[in-house]
Structure 1
Amino acid sequence: MGYRISKVYTRTGDDGSTSMADGSRVSKTSAVMQAIGDIDELNACIGVLRAEPLPKAIDLGLLAVQNELFSVGGELAMPEYQTISQGHIDVLEKQIDSWNNSLEPLKEFILPSGNRPVALCHVARTVCRRAERGLVLLKQQHKVRDELLHYVNRLSDYLFVAARTIGKANHTAEVYWQQNTAR
């Protein structure tokens, strides 16, 4: 693979606009740029999570997700570039089901806490939910393939179950929500 980026700055975005893959210029506050930024932020959150000690299978799964998120961002910038398919969603669902079958059934909401890797996984999950809202907003204005929405929606479930699985692997007790607790 050759060099893709030879210069990091171009100064063309100093006016608050940025270039799309087709050469058109859009505001950095446009719905498409917000969605791309949310996906990028999610990818960075997963990178921070992966810097923590994780079970190898979870780390490798998250590495695959990071590559897939890069493809999601690419597709948002170039709608003709389609890489996320139902197969990617199926992989997430299969892993969710596998992990979930090894966990205790939830009887109450759990708080996003426990230990650092668990908490960081929950942060990634909430950033994923925000990215999903951004995609829904973008879809109201532009064409967004259903597979992208389905993938990001399923990814938040994947991250939720991954957080629980990390906690179990680290022998970290889940913290349950308690309604009407006195302070």
Structure 2
Amino acid sequence: MAKIYTKTGDQGKTGLIGGSRVSKGELRIEAYGTVDELNSWIGLLRDVSEQENRRAVLKSIQDKLFTLGAELANETALADQPIQDLEESDIDVLENLMDQMNLHLKDLRHFVLPGGHVHVSYAHLARTVCRRAERCAIRLHDEAGINFMIIKYLNRLSDFLFVLSRQIAAEQGVEEVKWKG
């Protein structure tokens, strides 16, 4: 059986797709590490969902995030090179899912605080990590010129996770926690 540990990262360096070794503190590593963290939160959301359709949607999102993370780890990719399996239609899917959920939700007339049910909170945690991943991707784009589709997908995914949090609250029969400022 192959060992999972290689000891090559013991000095604070890691390898990129393309072969170079860089500091684990570099922005590119932070960006794909944050996408990996997001993928874990999406996995938790999938695990607690009892709806098979939602589980399938979240699994599809996880697949896209893995592809996106690989692209961020690829130092040889050109900024305008299309990402395999990430297209404008993937953004359309998220928008259509949000539109479908919004048909059954009350109009939003207030700011919403995370909470009200543990599954709602999981969705908000995923949303906030997604926003952090988006900020990392924007900084990396500014520094290294990554494909802008990554940023667009993360932006729309965070919107999707917010609407999903509202949908979960409605399904659980809990009132959204309103910000009273």
Length-normalised TM-score, structure 2: 0.91
The alignment covers a number of residue pairs equal to: 175
Letter in 1 for 2:157: L
Paired residue for 1:23? 19
1:166 aligns with 2:162: no
Q: Which runs of 5 or more structure 1 residues have no equivalent in the other structure?
A: none
CA deviation after TM superposition for structure 1 residue 51, in Å: 2.3
CA deviation after TM superposition for structure 1 residue 57, in Å: 2.4
Paired residue for 1:82? 83
Paired residue for 1:33? 29
1:110 aligns with 2:104: no
CA deviation after TM superposition for structure 1 residue 6, in Å: 4.3
Identity rate of aligned residues, in percent?
Answer: 41
Length-normalised TM-score, structure 1: 0.90
Q: Secondary structure at the match of 2:122?
A: helix
Paired residue for 2:154? 152
Q: Secondary structure at the match of 1:26?
A: strand
Contact kept? 1:55, 1:169, Cα under 8 Å: no
Pairing 1:25-104 to 2, within 5 Å after superposition:
25-78=21-74, 79=77, 82-83=83-84, 84-104=86-106
Deviations 1:124-144 (A, max 9, x none): 000100010000111111121
Deviations 1:40-79 (A, max 9, x none): 0001111122221443322221111111100100111123
Deviates more, 1:123-132 or 1:46-55: 46-55
Contact kept? 2:141, 2:148, Cα under 8 Å: no
